[in-house]
Chain A
Amino acid sequence: MDPPTKIEDPRADANGDNNHVSKKPKLSFISEPEIRQEFAHHKPGIARINNGSFGSCPASIIASQKRWQLRFLQQPDDFFFNHLQRQILHSRTIIKDLINADHVDEVSIVDNATTAAAIVLQNVGWAFADGRFQKGDAVVMLHCAFQAVKKSIEAYVTRAGGSVIVVHLPFPVNSNEEIIAEFRKGLARGKANGKKVRLAIIDHITSMPCVVIPARELVKICREEGVERVFVDAAHAIGSIHVDVKEIGADFYVSNLHKWFFCPPSVAFLYCRKSPLSPDLHHPVVSHEYGNGLAIESAWIGTRDYSSQLVVPDVVEFINRFEGGLEGIQKRNHDAVVEMGTMLAKAWGTNLGSPPEMCPSMVMIGLPSRLEVLSDDDALKLRTHLRDHFGLEVPIHFQMTRDGEIRAADGDGCITGYVRISHQVYNTLDDYVRLRDAINQLLSDGAVCKML
């Protein structure tokens, strides 16, 4: 059992008056006008349907963060010696309970999933260097893994002499079974030369294209196939789907709190399952706490602004102002985004990239083939055009056809472009209506991507 940590409220005044920490009776849930006020700093006129990329932070959390920043600036030495570590521990304890980890030691707080990937992969690099892994030993990744993670694999695995097995998953996709079958095939093929697989990196929710992966089942397959360790990149997961790290059963699990969990940029947790074989993970920025465990190392990596890591208790309070708390928010976001996605697919005569049960708070919708999204460049051009000319913020995905296989088409041709819409508590119907109308406008203008 972890010892109880003292809750410290930065709003407490100099006399130590902690009255506002005591529980107020809940009178009512947060209202629509209050939600609008919380996000009033979002640029007006922009239909912001891309919460997935950079997340969002309510005004009351921004205010809480500023209070923590001020505490440091007022008397940094006192803050460093007497408050910082305790507050980080408090955040870690909350996260541990949220994700159903056993020990708070298993929960480290880092900047983002990119940093977590560097931690896990640098450890793999060391293993190659000191001979624990042999040249040619493999790391498995998904073809649609986040680009930064792919680069990290190049930097720490390929460079150290490791090989990479790339597993392609189908998209658009119709069921979990399709993913499980493809993964099993891809993994077996990759191991064909008797390669030892040291690490598998599996997304819980892929970024582009966005699909909820049956992570628990894939982790099981990895274990069955003798994969030594499994790292789940769940950057999008916390605050959008149910997270239970024991159930998923991976060795490492990371998620960003600034995407769907209302924290300011940036803060993420890296869960590392405790076991006698737990590798000796280190934060790559080495400071005074080197050797005291990853969680303690990560809590001091030199003088920086740690305030985004300290607002987690206030975020929990914010979330509980919503009906159903986090689960309520997740469910409503999911239902709304599926409803909007269905509306758009119908309006454009296209398809959803995956069935509703494989969508988190984001959904992929096919773009009419007449727009001719034929490359990554086209996708980026279209995205920029939508931002500059329609005030729409939404990422576009170019889906290459594999082996000539046409998985989706509309009346005019193959569907190769998808839009990824997000729904967070600040979104309104109008955001998606504007997207619908913008695409229809482009179609009626006869626009194609390469002309934009």
Chain B
Amino acid sequence: MASLQPFNCATPKPKPITPSEIIAEFSHHDPSIARINNGSFGCCPSTIIAAQQNHQLHFLEQPDNFYFNILKPSILKTRQIIKTLINADHVDEISIVDNATTAAAIVLQHTTWSFFSTLFQPGDSAIMLHYAYGAVKKSVQAYITRAGGHVIEVHLPFPLKSNSEIIEEFRKALQMGKANGRKIRLAVIDHITSMPSVIIPVKELVQMCRDEGVGRIFIDAAHAIGNVKIDVKDIGADFYTSNLHKWFFCPPSAAFLYCKMSDELSDLHHPVVSHEYGNGLAMESAWIGTRDYSPQLVMPEVMEFVSRFEGGIEGIMRRNHEKVVEMAEMLVKAWGTELGTPPDMCSSMAMVGLPPCLGIKSDADALKLRTHLRVCFGVEVPIYYRAPVEGEIDPITGYARISHQVYNTVEDYYRFRDAVNKLVKDGFCCSFLTS
């Protein structure tokens, strides 16, 4: 990642943020909840909420002036900041959209048109991970399967011991995909899978795709920005999207979609078509009808906020990662279980094995347990059901995905530890829970 200078070098160095200031910034969080799920919906500090409300007010007080004179230059500022953050070449390569779900629709609808125009043939494939996010899978169904494309899902093992397990499975799937002379037109690869959460060796997978002649590569990195280092040139994909509201302190919702410069770039369109149709995806995305664009306008304030932390965003990421690993290891020790991946495959999230005696036997059980933890213990944490493999003895079938963000404290994780210990002590089993 390019080193982060203050965006305007003339401004004085910001005041370092103190622990009590951090608490104040997140004082709107429900104090009764141990909120160890930053991964799902992110978080937004009060300073940024205030900045957003300021932008909202500018629209409400004189919307015409805002539309004609303020909106576009403000979005351009955001795009420039992101270009620097992710090491893109041109600001034209950066579009701001609502979320990764929208970015997926943009990339996938582009593929649909290729099927319509017979540039792609029925049976041409798209390849994606079995652990791809549910919404993205639906989008692949809606835009590729429906248009006659074939979908290959790469099954990755979990728990995992190393990157090579991922690389091996992906290689096998690529071979199978090309069997019978089929063409693989698109690869959809997560940078950090959602459930179970694992950092994927995207650079290696992108290289394999290029070696095997995959047409286009789309990285769904919803969790990445503010969580792991991003260098889009180094990764080398054609499309790369990440949500700014998950780990980069923006309010709901804002995301960027990076599209590497190419002849095809002019043919990408936002599905909500408005006045700017045909002027490039970035321009199209900057006006999709009257809406509240304020979440897209607070990046300057966010950059100032993160620069108040020691080491800036890099310092935040490093400390989040170290802390979540420390807490994860504390939990597995307390429960006698295991991590789902080695620490270097964890981001600011970690998969922590739950005691088998809890009897998590299905996705429904996982959701019920999650609800039970929220309602009875005030712990907010998503649970992943991992189907046992034949021959396993007393396997771990449930993993909790714990997150660590700047507002978390060790008490959050002790509360979780104690809740699970209590459930075990009481002889609790998921089958006791009603839907």
Taking Cβ atoms with an 8 Å cutoff, the residues of A that contact B are 41-43, 46, 48, 50, 53-57, 62, 66, 69-70, 72-78, 80-81, 111-115, 117-118, 121-122, 126, 128-129, 147-148, 151-152, 154-156, 159-160, 256, 258, 264-266, 282, 284-288, 290-291, 301-305, 308, 384, 387, 393
Contact = CB atoms under 8 A, between A and B. Distances in A.
Contact of B98 (A43, A156, A304): A304
A121 B274 CA distance: 13
B243 interface: yes
Nearest to A53: B64
Interface stretch (B134-142, B387-395, B416-424): B134-142
B113 to A, nearest CB: 8
Contacts of B37: 77
Nearest to A42: B61
A122 B271 contact: yes
Given A73-B28, A148-B273, A286 B142 contact: yes
In order of increasing CB-CB distance, the 4 nearest A-B pairs are: A114-B289, A302-B101, A284-B271, A54-B63
A303 B222 CA distance: 11
A286 B146 CA distance: 13
Nearest to A129: B116
B269 interface: yes
Given A266-B289, A266-B291, A304-B252, A77 B40 contact: yes
Contacts, number: 185
B361 interface: no
B337 interface: no
Interface in B87-136: 98-102, 104-105, 108-109, 112-113, 115-116, 134-135
Contact of A284 (B35, B43, B105): B105
A73 B64 contact: no
A305 B271 contact: no
A379 B250 CA distance: 38
Interface string B245-275: 1000001110000000000000001011111
Contact of B41 (A76, A121, A152): A76
B275 A129 contact: no
Nearest to B26: A73
12 contacts: A56-B60, A76-B41, A111-B272, A114-B272, A117-B273, A121-B273, A265-B291, A288-B135, A290-B142, A291-B138, A302-B101, A305-B292
A288 to B, nearest CB: 5
Interface string B37-52: 1001111100001000
B158 interface: no
Contacts of A43: 61-62, 65
A113 B143 CA distance: 23
Contact of A286 (B35, B135, B288): B135
B142 A266 contact: no
Nearest to B292: A265
A148 B99 contact: no
Given A111-B291, A151-B277, A285 B138 contact: no
Nearest to A54: B63
A252 to B, nearest CB: 16
Given A111-B291, A303-B243, A154 B277 contact: yes
Given A74-B30, A284-B105, A286-B138, A53 B63 contact: yes
A304 B135 contact: no
B253 A305 contact: yes
Interface string B60-79: 11111101100000000000
A434 to B, nearest CB: 16
Contacts of B41: 72, 76-77, 80, 303
Given A53-B64, A303-B99, A387-B64, 12 more contacts: A41-B60, A73-B28, A76-B40, A159-B113, A256-B290, A266-B290, A286-B142, A302-B99, A302-B100, A303-B41, A305-B292, A393-B62
B226 interface: no
B374 interface: yes
A152 B273 contact: yes
Nearest to B37: A77
A159 B288 CA distance: 19
Point out which of B57, B113, B142, B289 has the most chain A C-beta atoms below 10 A from its C-beta.
B289
Interface string B294-320: 010000000000000000000000000
A151 B275 contact: yes
A147 B29 CA distance: 43
Contacts of B139: 286-287, 290
B289 A111 contact: yes
B147 interface: yes
Given A129-B147, A393-B62, A290 B290 contact: no
A54 B135 contact: no
B238 interface: no
Contact of A75 (B33, B62, B292): B33
A305 B295 contact: yes
B371 interface: yes
Contacts of A48: 62
B271 A288 contact: no
Contacts of B143: 286
Given A155-B273, A387-B64, A77 B288 contact: no
B161 to A, nearest CB: 31
Contact of B252 (A72, A159, A256, A258): A72
B273 A302 contact: no
Nearest to A79: B41
A301 B44 contact: no
Contacts of B53: 66
Contact of A304 (B29, B116, B142, B253): B253
A41 B291 contact: no
Nearest to A151: B277
Contacts of A284: 105, 109, 271-272
A79 to B, nearest CB: 9
Contact of A118 (B113, B251, B253, B272): B272
A308 B292 contact: yes
Contacts of A308: 292
B59 interface: yes
Contacts of B49: 73
B380 interface: yes
Nearest to B98: A304
A66 B52 CA distance: 11
A265 B142 CA distance: 29
Contact of B290 (A66, A70, A258, A305): A258
Point out which of A73, A128, A256, A282 has the most chain B C-beta atoms below 10 A from its C-beta.
A73
Point out which of A50, A301, A308 has the most chain B C-beta atoms below 10 A from its C-beta.
A301
Contact of B105 (A78, A286, A393): A286
Given A112-B290, A286-B105, A147 B275 contact: yes
